[in-house]
Amino acid sequence: MDRALELAARGPAHGPNPRVGCVILAPATPGIPGRTVLGEGWHRGAGTPHAEVAALADARARGHDTRGATAVVTLEPCHHTGRTGPCTRALLDAGITDVVHALADPGVTSGGGADHLRAHGVHVTAGPRSAAALDLVHTWHHAVTTGRPWITLKTATSLDGRVAASDGTSQWITGPQARAHAHAIRAQVDAIAVTTGTALADDPALTARTPTGTLAPHQPLRVVIGHRDLPADHRLLHDGPPPLHLRTHDVGDVLAALHHHEIRHLLVEGGPALAGALLAADVVDELHAYIAPVLLGDGPPAIPPYGITTLATAPRWHTTTTHRLGDDILLIARRTATHPDPDTEEA
Amino acid sequence: MDRALELAARGPAHGPNPRVGCVILAPATPGIPGRTVLGEGWHRGAGTPHAEVAALADARARGHDTRGATAVVTLEPCHHTGRTGPCTRALLDAGITDVVHALADPGVTSGGGADHLRAHGVHVTAGPRSAAALDLVHTWHHAVTTGRPWITLKTATSLDGRVAASDGTSQWITGPQARAHAHAIRAQVDAIAVTTGTALADDPALTARTPTGTLAPHQPLRVVIGHRDLPADHRLLHDGPPPLHLRTHDVGDVLAALHHHEIRHLLVEGGPALAGALLAADVVDELHAYIAPVLLGDGPPAIPPYGITTLATAPRWHTTTTHRLGDDILLIARRTATHPDPDTEEA
């Protein structure tokens, strides 16, 4: 399974489908420890073969007979015809008699593969390394489980939480290392959202660029939220594929539309009104807070009032990672249900 | 000199005097490498012997003759009679013929020791490890050079820069690890300042406590700044020695009074008006920003408007350290004169 997880990680973090890896093992030979690897495969993105099909093809290309073999796969084989046929069919056709999978498939359409295989006489074992497998596909898993994308809210602020000085100047609060990091994140997500207000004010390209300034191989879908039109000469309309313009302020409508577009991971870059609406709806799953050591004392805040009036009921976050990026820091945090225990220290 | 620096670091970080270490070495013996250590000493705080005097006493206690010996000391020997006599006199009386010191003494009253020693035939060498020696005494060095304390501004805020929710609740934004760290810093400084506004609102004890809740051995002078009286039952008047109440809003008057009290390191804990006044006067030397992963969206900001209107002229800080403290982070930054180079990336 470790090898299958390694293979899975070769796939893209973005895209509608999960990252999956598969290893085909020859039947055990009595008296000889270990199992011969017949084939390996991983999913390279929507429209390409699933990991199981890729691994079976690899085994055939190497001249191996897969009858009686074991498929070790990081996710329960799908039982669904989408852009490609069901993996359950491919495994049965290849004569696979044993399947070991890590994570169960939570999909209402793609799930049920293990039961189908068992019904056809395959010995299916579930569970090893399922936490590691989930880690590889957590945005996809979240989206197919909840029906909405995993939402990462990015802020780039002064130490005192301002996104700009009082005259509106905001370029650049954070330094080049923080900005390069933010571009690398853009290249991993499915979509980036800004409000029409931010688009009109900043005319952002919202492209993912490498440190040398060239476009990254994967560009996220650019999403603009709000009722106003963008001028035709704005970068979002001028450069690259057209953005998705969602003419609504309803968070539920926005998330449903994105889910319909199979967006698994949404990066929200601004403005404050959108951040506030998502926080108020408690649908932000992760914060990426880039913080620069500068104090502005005034200027627009990153987060507007969104309904928190007292500390005890403020949603709490669990810090998963901190990065030093030049003079700036990045704090990554996820929502946690629990509030820290109150205590009674003196100030 | 490495050994002398180790000895110096045994002294207290707080107090009016610098941390100094001294090693007395026997004269070189021809043909034999290395030098015998005759005595060691360090300064233990105001009113106790200086490092040189302590090291000479140690040598005598061990029965050594110090005539013709070398004194290796982290700071230029003082030439000044204060609470104790001048070290130059002690070194000459002991027959020391060579002095090697790291940092030069910048003091207008205590300086001049090297020249005095040279005039009396001592061979004085200056400079080795002066950066390390300065690092040990930087708050003292700053104070005697500039005539005002080194000022550390502490903030404890939400990720969006708020010190409290909109209803005023602020206990506790940061977690127990961050608060324990802040108490450890209190135990290293000479004084803690708050405004009368903060004192009246929060009734803080402003004591330095250990993680078990007991008082730390060193308690900083507590300073209250503002015109209003504190009620007699407030903790600042009730517990421990009386605070220093400076009835002024003039930053220059505050700093002069603190310098007169030989405060080398001042920790400013609140409120926002004091932080703003000190930032506007550009006398904050170091920031300690404790940041909790919570977004409040509203509530009082840590830093009020203090005259920054555009990003390009905002004072910049250099991040020296970041600490993860549970879910919180501490960012420590110092003022830097240079603004990062502007560049022209796309957003």
Residues of chain B with pLDDT below 50 are 338-346
Question: What's residue B337's pLDDT?
Answer: 55
Domain covering A147-336 assigned CATH 3.40.50.300 in the classification: no
Please state which architecture CATH assigns to domain A2-140.
3-Layer(aba) Sandwich (3.40)
Q: Across the interface, which of B169, B289, B345 has its CB nearest the CB of A311?
A: B169
Q: What pLDDT is attached to residue B46?
A: 86
Contacts of B152 in chain A (CB under 8 A): none
Closest chain B CA to residue A164 = B311
Cβ within 8 Å, pair B308-A316: no
The 3-class secondary structure across chain A, one letter per residue, is CHHHHHHHCCCCCCCCCCCCEEEEECCCCCCCCCCCEEEEEECCCCCCCCHHHHHHHHHHHCCCCCCCCEEEEEECCCCCCCCCCCHHHHHHHCCCCEEEEEECCCCCCCCCHHHHHHHCCCEEEECCCHHHHHHHCHHHHHHHHHCCCEEEEEEEEECCCECCCCCCCCCCCCCHHHHHHHHHHHCCCCEEEEEHHHHHHHCCCCCCECCCCCECCCCCEEEEECCCCCCCCCHHHHCCCCCEEECCCCHHHHHHHHHHCCCCEEEEEECHHHHHHHHHCCCCCEEEEEEECECCCCCCECCCCCCCCCHHHCCEEEEEEEEEECCEEEEEEEEECCCCCCCCCCC
Parse chain A into domains and list their residue ranges: 2-140, 147-336
Give pLDDT tens digits for B33-57: 888 999 999 999 988 999 999 999 9
Provide, as residue numbers in chain A, all residues whose Cβ is less than 8 Å from the Cβ of B207. 346
Residues in chain B within 8 Å Cβ distance of A206: 347
Of B171, B305, B331, the CB nearest to A298: B305
B52 is catalytic: yes
A269 among annotated binding-site residues = yes
Of B40, B52, B76, B286, the active-site residue reads B52
CA distance A165 to chain B (A): 5
What ipTM was reported for this prediction? 0.87
Name the stretches of chain A with pLDDT < 50: 338-346
Query: Which of B151, B153, B155, B159 is the mutation pick for testing A, counting most A CBs within 10 A?
Result: B159
Within 8 A of A293 by CB-CB distance, chain B residues are: 287, 289, 316-319, 331, 333
Contact state of B311 with A173 under an 8 Å Cβ cutoff: yes
Among the partner-chain residues B276, B293, B308, the one whose CB lies closest to the CB of A319 is B293
Q: What is the pLDDT of residue A300?
A: 94
CA distance A225 to chain B (A): 18
pLDDT at A339: 44
One fold for A2-140 and A147-336: no
Topology classification of domain B2-137: Cytidine Deaminase; domain 2 (3.40.140)
Q: How many CB pairs under 8 A join A and B?
A: 226
Is there a contact between A161 and B159 if contact means CB atoms under 8 Å apart?
Answer: yes
pLDDT given at position A343: 45
Which residues from chain B sit within 8 angstroms of residue A165, using beta carbons? 308-311, 314
